[in-house]
Amino acid sequence: MRELINLHDYPLDRPGSSEWVALVDDCKARLAKDGLFNITGFINAKALPKAVAELKPVLETQSFTHARKHNIYFQKEIDGLPADHPALTEFETSNRTICADQMGQAAVIQLYEWPPFAQFLAAVMDKSELFTMKDPLARVNVMSYHKGQALNWHFDRSEFTTTLLLQASDVGGEFEYDQNLRSADDPNYAGVADLLEGRRSTRRIVLEPGTLNIFQGKNTAHRVTPVKGDQDRIIAVFSYFEHPDVEFSEQERIGFYGRAA
């Protein structure tokens, strides 16, 4: 892993060391304050071009174009909201996706399966342990956004999302979010409507390629703005769970990837 990850600055290979503990504590503090943290330069600069190059032919020839209209909840109806409520405004999301079973032993797969990576993430998230998915498709996904494509406003189903930016677009493709827009006790439909109609202030961040991002998106609305220019935005998404052997249903696989196996 030393060739792939910047273990000099981010000693994931030395769990329990003072440097490892300091890194975990810093990430936890930023996560609590901002709802996310970024580790810039997580992937070594020399390793990044190869990590991208081994995925591009698969994206070009074997990817599934996932395009759909959805509201921020990914649900057709919400109890207590009329169908024409502005919080249910629909937008379009579109990208190209490849799955773990299409990547062989690509760098992103090696990183995902490296036990110290999951151990580090669990420590930052205050989890006793995190497990890789059993699902051969969903465990790691790589998504590509070309000109005009975007990941539109939504809330995540999971508490945490772990991503690695592999390639940035020339223009656009910014990560935008409205932290803690809702809570478990307050869905804040009026606030959601204000966001979708442009009446709320949001935060935007521009990530550098090779940046690891951990994000709490269950109650924080977020999107990736439309990509502009000729260079695609390419990002890897890693899925871990607090219990082993998690798999998507056949219906979920078909919905996300266009195939069940």
CATH number of the domain within which 197 lies: 2.60.120.620
Question: What pLDDT score does 137 carry?
Answer: 98
Count up the domains in the chain and report the number. Answer: 1
**226 confidence band (pLDDT: 50, 70, 90):** very high
- The residue among 65, 40, 128, 100 whose CA lies nearest residue 248 is 100
**Of residues 225, 212, 215, 110, the one with CA closest to residue 164:** 212
Report percent pLDDT > 70 for the chain.
Answer: 100
Identify whether 203 is part of a domain.
Answer: yes
DSSP 230: S
Q: What are phi and psi of 176, to 5 degrees?
A: -120, 135
pLDDT recorded at residue 127: 96
Answer yes or no: is 13 within a domain.
no
pLDDT score of 77: 93
| Phi, psi dihedral angles at 69 (to 5 degrees) | -95, 140
234 in a domain, yes or no?
yes
- DSSP summary character for residue 17: S
What is residue 84's predicted lDDT score, i.e. its pLDDT? Answer: 95
Distance CA 254, CA 38 (A): 32
Predicted pLDDT at 34:
94
- What integer is the mean pLDDT of 203-216? 96
User: pLDDT tens digits for 72-105?
Assistant: 999 999 998 999 999 999 999 999 999 999 999 9
* pLDDT (0 to 100) of residue 183: 96
- Work out the pLDDT band at 145, boundaries 50, 70, 90: very high
Q: Measure the CA–CA gap between 149 and 236, rounded to whole angstroms.
A: 16
How far apart are the C-alpha atoms of 175 and 184, rounded to whole Å?
Answer: 24
Give the residue from 107, 79, 153, 126 showing the smallest Cα distance to 242.
Answer: 126
What is the average per-residue pLDDT within 24-45? 96
> What confidence tens digit (pLDDT) does each residue in 155-201 have?
998 999 999 999 999 999 999 999 999 999 999 999 999 999 999 99
| 2, part of any domain | no
Closest residue by Cα to residue 244 from 90, 139, 109: 139
Determine, yes or no, domain membership for 96.
yes
179: DSSP letter = T
Residue 119 domain-assigned (yes or no) = yes
Residue 104 domain-assigned?
yes
Mean pLDDT of the chain: 96
Strand-pair category, 161-167 with 212-215: antiparallel
Which of the four pLDDT bands, split at 50, 70 and 90, describes residue 154?
Answer: very high
Closest CA to 172 of 189, 155, 151: 151
Q: What per-residue confidence (pLDDT) applies to 42? A: 98
Q: Give the list of residues 6+ apart from residue 234 with CB closer than 8 angstroms, or none.
A: 52, 55, 56, 59, 142, 143, 144, 145, 165, 166, 167
Instruction: Tell me the per-residue pLDDT of 107-135, one tens digit each, with 9 for 90 and over.
Output: 999 999 999 999 999 999 999 999 999 99
Range of the domain at 194: 18-257
* 3 in a structural domain: no
At 242-256, the pLDDT tens digits run 999 999 999 999 989
Contact in structure between 67 and 93 (CB atoms under 8 Å): yes
pLDDT recorded at residue 71: 96
- Residue 113: burial class (beta carbons within 10 Å; 0-12, 13-18, 19+): middle
Looking at residue 175, what DSSP letter applies? E
Q: Looking at residue 75, what is its pLDDT? A: 93
